[in-house]
Amino acid sequence: MIHEVTSSLPKFKTLRFTQGLNIVLADRTDKSTQTDTRNGSGKTSLIEILHHLLGGKAEPKSMFRQPPLDEHWFAMVFDLAGQRVRVQREGATPGKVTVATFTSDGAVLDEETISNEQWKRRLGAEVFGLNEEGDWAPSFRSCISYFLRRQSAGGFQAPTKHFSQQMTWDIQVNLSFLLGLDVDLARAWQRLRERERQMETLRKAAQGGALGELVGNSGELASELAVAEDELNRLTASVADFTVIPTYATVEAEVTRLGQRIRALNNQIISDREYLAQLENNLDEVQTTRPTGLAELYAAADVQLPEVALAAYDDVQAFHDSVIANRRQYLDAEIRRITSDLAANTSERNRLAEQRSDGMRLLSSGGAAETLLELQRDVAKRQVRVEQLRHRYDNAITLESEQGELRLERQRLAAALTRDLAERQQVLRPAFVIFERLSQRLYADQQHGRLVVNATDNGPEITATIPRGRSKGITNMQVYCFDLDLITLWSRRERGPGFLVHDSHLFDGVDERQRASALQVGAEYAAAEGFQYIVTLNSDETPNELPDGSAVEDFVLPERLTDHGDDGGLFGLRF
């Protein structure tokens, strides 16, 4: 329990608490609706002070690090693991706390200044028995926040959330711990969600996002990879068999020149063959020409020529025979020349063709150094391409197999959670019964509330509900019943903080009858279960007596707060 809250502020109103129900009452002299912790009487600020002393964050904008509070310390005396302890923290050194332990007779047993992180670890171990660390483990700060809710953090919006932006894993892990469920299963669900989140990121990227060139369909990539590897193997083999010819360019030029010369000779040979055929044909015509004598022609016509005419004709015939003979000699000489040229050109062509074939064989057996370098560069590019495809293929296989494994893991965890909840029904039974009885005490005229723990495909789902009737502030009373359930469970285990603190905001919108019932039920449970119930209330919203006739004033702390004047509030000053 908490014994005392004090400060070095000169006019701070030290609050001293007792066992059972403690009401911190604020007299409201006006109708202010201020809810900020820096205004009003300081009821909500008491919650902030308790969080500050129990390891809460003290960021630069924290009120404890702003003037005028940054020059002062706050302290609390409370029971921790069976010993009375005093913790003190200053705004000027928010990273450190001073902790003193007292003996049973009030003497200081020891005192030390430790870091706030060390203090939180000690609180976790001694208040809740926490010893697990690492990702997604239960934490003291999250667990204690269910016993010390803050309006500014949205702590009254839902029973299972002490913070409006509280993550699903934080709810599941810490409530599993507080209710006695398997925390490892809740942590396993979060590990699964993290893996699924990463896979979803990769999946979206593979569909055309940032990793569109790194991941793809495994089937398509397998085909593309096989083709690319085959092309690389063939090109690599060509490079391995490649012979570098130092005079490759010279040989290549000579082969080209020889080809041109051979084509010219072929053209010449074709032309000479055509000319030879023409000469031989002309020679045949000359050789077969047999001119008929003029005398013979006339004789055949029975015409007798005179001797003079015959003599002249003989001269003509001799001249004609001479022409034929000369023609035959020319054709014979020309045929011999063309035949000789044909033989020479054919021989030259064959010789050049052999030289060209030798050059072609040399070129086909290798190539220039530049060609080899080009081939090697091509091989390097293809190797990079193959490695990229192989990497994409491996990623695709990993992605697809991981997605399948995640589906199986989700099914496995859901089945394990269902079995675990069935096995822990005896553990959960008290929590179910307490919540139902609390709601029955508050709303006897309507259907009672239910605390339900379900195994879902997203981990344990914990709900605390009271059916809506004609009552106002129903959600706030769901929070009330849930918190009272938790402190009762932990008090029965003889562990936990030993106190439950509710800000007056919890009772906003709650009917006066339910408000009075809540105070009486809280007082009864605190007395019966041995915990301390601290409530901050405004005087104009506080009933005069409880349903059993007890005076509310009997539970009000002697030190009353007020929003009248600069020094009427908890801090003794306005800022």
Model confidence band, residue 256 (pLDDT cutoffs 50, 70, 90):
confident
Residue 493 has a pLDDT of: 95
| pLDDT, greater one: 99 or 407 | 99
Q: How far apart are CA 47 and CA 5, in angstroms?
A: 11
CATH topology of domain 246-296+324-366: Helix Hairpins (1.10.287)
Residue recorded with tokens 């709810």: 171
Share of the chain above pLDDT 70, in %: 86
- Whether the pLDDT of residue 348 is over 60: the answer is yes
Model confidence band, residue 133 (pLDDT cutoffs 50, 70, 90):
confident
What number is the average pLDDT over the span 449-476?
87
- Whether the pLDDT of residue 423 is over 70: the answer is yes
The total number of residues written for the chain in this structure: 575
- Whether the pLDDT of residue 336 is over 50: the answer is yes
Residue 488 has a pLDDT of: 98
Share of the chain above pLDDT 90, in %: 53
CA-based radius of gyration for the chain: 55
Residue 251 has a pLDDT of: 65
Residue 37 has a pLDDT of: 39
Q: Of 22, 30, 45, which Cα lies nearest the Cα of 505?
A: 45
Name the phi and psi angles at 171, rounded to 5: -65, -50
Residue 204 has a pLDDT of: 74
Burial of 45 (0-12, 13-18, 19+ CB in 10 A): buried
Beta strands, E only, 81-187: 83-90, 96-102, 108-115
Model confidence band, residue 209 (pLDDT cutoffs 50, 70, 90):
very low
- Whether the pLDDT of residue 372 is over 60: the answer is no
Torsion sign across C-alpha atoms 493, 494, 496, 498: positive
**At a CB cut-off of 8 Å and minimum separation 6, what does 60 contact?**
none
| pLDDT, greater one: 360 or 537 | 537
- Whether the pLDDT of residue 463 is over 80: the answer is yes
Residue 36 has a pLDDT of: 39
Q: How far apart are CA 130 and CA 116, in angstroms?
A: 16
Helices (H), ranges, 158-247: 168-179, 183-206, 218-241
Residue 386 has a pLDDT of: 87
